Structure 1
């Protein structure tokens, strides 16, 4: 575990970078493993800073199901440590990439376990953030139950580093499942939708139920995972279908597109979004409506509008994007936040 003196020294180094960027009239982009980089249509950042060296455990209390890590530690590396104590962070993104913990928070990631384990955002108990306006700040708390005041951790979740740089993340962890079982089917979209509804009659909640639409393959793939006690897994295998102890989500590696979109749609529109998604990979979690998909630069704006018109949420995760204007009702709030946390706009 990293000692406090080393943490403070790292923070002073990054604060010095803030000062240099401000002095030279530059903008700064902080990077992790680089999987989720956006390419703004305007001028790019003029300086970058990597957090991959910030990759230690700060505090870990297995009995309390709480861990605090530096932002540059990858999710897979963290899970290897947690597994020694029979625990894990259920965050697996459909494209199979390994993200840093800080990058996952900053990009607002979620994954294939959202339906069974809840959203990744709800696991974020607290953050340490370096801001140009206030220096180092601590938001949230290192406890599972925290009901006092505003949950400022959510202000930074998905903020893409525009208000401050996340340097530490405190997370709620889960016990590793005692037993796991996986199933997969392929067929028409209507057949797989009926099958997904049938699965909900088998048992609930599933660890994950995902549709995979791949333009290079015919039909739609339905993948399901059950995590729980061995008796339930054995019952499902014996009375429904045998399944498999290990079955990958994808039948081939995820192929990146020009633009990657992420978000969630109302469950009633899951079948519709699969039907209109063209010329790109798409993974949709059936229980939550969470999705990840690739598109061309031409098709991405069309799908963004389609999703918003149906009360869904969508954001560009990586690739070229146009900055969407802040809704007029939110502009005064956003301006006050930006002026307070990043008054010289060095973070873009």
Structure 2
């Protein structure tokens, strides 16, 4: 175990002493000792989203998970891998790549983001449209609970159907239910080729073009829309977006002959749409654009960042509303209905008005399709000045499922010691 002389401030609170356990046994002991003393436990990794949510509400101990980076088991022929949660996504991809495999998921700043952090924050990336979410690839998980015990859920094989998938409750829970220690993923073969094609689309035709893309005969893995202010932040896209337009990026990953056919087919389909113009395409040299799309939620130095989640068919309407909300840079993953945005300069009153407009738009769109929508769209603030943080600003009005989340929290962490204070109700 490494007890560093350093301390850390978490969202303006602290300082918290930082401890880096070197084994699961050490981690279990640390958690039990801290909770016995009545202290909170704050798991940290690459610290890419350490300020996500409300500020911590209790004193406690910061657990630096980067001491747990081992490759536990990798039967490549079974296409599964088991690793400790302190390993970064970038390092896992290098390990898998040596066997011609990969985990087809994105996380911002993958060279810093630990797997535990990626699971805890659960930010959808551009490839979600083609491959699914983190929940789709987690087969099993080991977690240290509030008694310092190592609990296991799921397994290490794809055909595992025993028990409940309790481990999936930890995905997106911000470390409030326990400390993720070990994860088993299913993986896929690396695609032979990847290509990204860029079109410029008039704003007034964007909804129609996206509707056409949802009906395409091709199989894109990403379908992203970049507004002009966001395009100016990406070197390969700079200068391509014009006023009253947006860039539409469609990505393919398969065999080279299949990708080539899909590019040709897509061009024929979009040629029938008005207001859309082909700009160019990249093959392997487009990796910088793929990575920029994945990193966009955590671009450096914006004053405020948010994520909106709506139905894919509603994406264009959210972008239309966003046009009138100040100097806003937006990237929308239209295949999954996820919209990310940044303001670099905005005052608190204007921010409240902008968020209210976005949330009202998402709610109105949900009401229009009430018969088909299980949950309304939501707008969540990822980053903003600490002094501005309130439950209403960060999360909006309470969701109808909040009571269920509180019940789960009470069952997993009745004393409220894991990362307390992050969610709206103080847990």
Give the TM-score normalised by structure 1: 0.84
Q: In the TM superposition, what is the alpha-carbon distance from 1:120 to its structure 2 partner?
A: 2.1
SS of equivalent to 2:336: coil
Q: In the TM superposition, what is the alpha-carbon distance from 1:71 to its structure 2 partner?
A: 0.5
The runs of 5 or more residues in structure 1 that have no matched partner are 1-7
Q: Which residue of 2 aligns with 1:322?
A: 390
- Aligned-partner Cα distance in 1 for 2:186–2:96: 12
From 101, 107, 117, give the equivalent of 2:131. Answer: 117
Q: Which residue of 1 aligns with 2:35?
A: 22
Q: In the TM superposition, what is the alpha-carbon distance from 1:97 to its structure 2 partner?
A: 7.0
Q: In the TM superposition, what is the alpha-carbon distance from 1:16 to its structure 2 partner?
A: 2.8
User: Which deviates more from structure 2 when the two are superposed, residues 105-114 or residues 37-46?
Assistant: 37-46
Q: Which residue of 1 aligns with 2:319?
A: 274
SS of equivalent to 1:148: coil
Per the alignment, do residues 263 and 52 of structure 1 end up closer, same or farther by CA in structure 2, a change over 3 Å counting? Answer: farther
Q: In the TM superposition, what is the alpha-carbon distance from 1:80 to its structure 2 partner?
A: 0.6
Q: In the TM superposition, what is the alpha-carbon distance from 1:55 to its structure 2 partner?
A: 1.2
- Aligned-partner Cα distance in 1 for 2:37–2:336: 45
Q: In the TM superposition, what is the alpha-carbon distance from 1:342 to its structure 2 partner?
A: 1.9
Give the TM-score normalised by structure 2: 0.70
User: Which deviates more from structure 2 when the two are superposed, residues 166-175 or residues 307-316?
Assistant: 307-316
Structure ranking higher in helix proportion: 2
From 75, 97, 102, give the equivalent of 1:83. Answer: 97
Per the alignment, do residues 141 and 23 of structure 1 end up closer, same or farther by CA in structure 2, a change over 3 Å counting? Answer: closer
Q: In the TM superposition, what is the alpha-carbon distance from 1:134 to its structure 2 partner?
A: 6.3
Task: State yes or no: 1:230 paired with 2:278.
Answer: no
Higher relative contact order (CA 8 A, sep 6+): 1
**Paired residues for 1:1-348 under 5 Å:** 10-37=23-50, 38=52, 40-41=54-55, 43=57, 46-93=60-107, 98-133=112-147, 135-200=149-214, 203-215=217-229, 217=232, 218=243, 219-237=245-263, 240=267, 243-245=281-283, 246-247=285-286, 248-249=289-290, 250=292, 254-262=299-307, 264-277=309-322, 278=325, 279-295=327-343, 298-299=351-352, 301-302=355-356, 303-304=358-359, 306-307=361-362, 310=366, 311-319=376-384, 321-323=389-391, 331=403, 333-347=404-418, 348=420
The runs of 5 or more residues in structure 2 that have no matched partner are 1-20, 233-242, 268-277, 367-375, 421-427
Cα contact 1:192–1:221 (8 A) shared by 2 = no
The RMSD of aligned alpha carbons is 3.1
Q: In the TM superposition, what is the alpha-carbon distance from 1:160 to its structure 2 partner?
A: 0.7
Cα contact 1:94–1:292 (8 A) shared by 2 = no
- Aligned-partner Cα distance in 2 for 1:318–1:90: 26
- Aligned-partner Cα distance in 2 for 1:225–1:22: 47
Cα contact 2:35–2:41 (8 A) shared by 1 = no
Residues 84-140 of structure 1: CA deviation (Å, up to 9, x unaligned): 111111122467775211111111232110111112221111110001146110011
